Amino acid sequence: MFAAGIVAVIVLYFVVRGVFGGQDREAQATETRNAAAAAAARQDPLVQAVLTIEQVKPYSVVMRGHTEAARTVVVRAETAGVVAETPAREGSFVSRGQVLCRLSVDARQASLDQARANMKSRQLQREASANLAKKGYRSPTQVLQDQANLDAASAAVRQAEVALGQINIRAPFAGVFDQRDAEVGAYLSPGQACGTVIELNPLLVVGDISETETGRVRVGAPAVATLVSGETLSGRVRYVAREADPATRTYRVEIEANNPGGAARSGLSAQARLSTGAGTAHLVPQTALVLDSAGRQGVRYVLPDNRVAFAPVQVLDEAPEGVWVSGLSGPVRLITVGQSYVSEGQKVRVATR
């Protein structure tokens, strides 16, 4: 009986030890896990950064617009008459002074012949008066009167020549006779249109730029335009508006580009790149751009002591590899992964690639 009691006590001891020992081990494991989690929480966050260096970058402004003729003029009749000929074909290239429409002569040639005959008569009369004045048979006053009559006759001849010349309606400059408004047999009054001439060389590329970019564009700056047709035109900025469009708050810009042979047409969509000089810039991934608490666009980077800093930047240009920005100086460890989850002054661990 005594031996059985001893055995029961020993069994009870091991049972109790097993139960409470298991609880102790579980508590110890839990404590270990909590300690590891606390250590991990105390560890600085891990970010990924890439080293970007300062480079000299040509600055430019991209403008979307279209082509326009450098000059467009509606050529009008200076005198009345019936259209007798239309020598210039619509849509053809014309040279300066080429006849576009010719009116009928009517009585203009006869008026010129009459004016010339009258001038010849006045000239003979003037010569006779001068000879008689030398012999004392004609007063100086009469000679002056004959000279005035000759001058008036000469002016009448010039007037008749101008009237006859006005039957030829000519191109004011070299270009394209883009539209004919008068056909043979039509009667034109002074001021009525014969047709429209446009100048395509040089050709204008026009568009609008934002108010933030206007200060960077200068008259005379080189520019290259790529047309929707695939053609490329080179030229220079000839005009930058001083007053913004009240509806869009943008400024009109005109580029004068060489267009040999008038190959490029007016009215084509175009994208132009305007040179605005050169300066230092950094090439950064577009995904690295973030906004700070004040709403400024910029990037976060890592200082030498592994603390996070923020720099506001301005996007200068886009490239397949990223965007060119200003606002940074020298080599920069730019945060490319995790930049949205850290704040300025926070210490981080950096995985540089």
Query: Residue 289: enclosing H or E segment and its boundaries?
Result: none
pLDDT by position in tens, the chain (length 353): 555 556 555 655 554 455 444 555 665 656 666 655 555 456 789 999 999 999 988 888 899 999 999 999 999 999 999 999 999 999 899 999 999 999 999 888 889 999 999 999 999 988 888 888 888 888 888 889 989 999 999 999 999 999 899 999 999 999 999 999 999 999 999 999 999 999 999 999 999 999 888 888 999 999 999 999 889 999 999 999 999 999 999 999 999 999 988 889 999 999 999 998 888 899 999 999 999 888 899 999 999 999 999 999 988 888 888 999 989 999 999 999 998 899 899 999 988 66
Architecture of domain 46-58+280-352: Beta Barrel (2.40)
Domain boundaries, the chain: 1-42, 46-58+280-352, 62-68+200-276, 72-194
> How far apart (Å, rounded) are the C-alpha atoms in residues 333 and 299?
10
Q: Are strands 46-52 and 187-188 parallel, antiparallel or unpaired?
A: unpaired
> How far apart (Å, rounded) are the C-alpha atoms in residues 93 and 197?
9
Q: For residue 141, which amino acid is it? A: T
**Tokens 């981080």 appear where?**
348
Computed over its alpha carbons, how large is the radius of gyration of the chain?
45
For the domain covering 72-194, report its CATH number.
2.40.50.100
- From the candidate CATH numbers 3.40.50.740, 2.40.30.170, 2.60.120.340, 1.25.40.10, the one assigned to the domain spanning 62-68+200-276: 2.40.30.170
> Against a cut of 0.75, is the pTM above it?
no
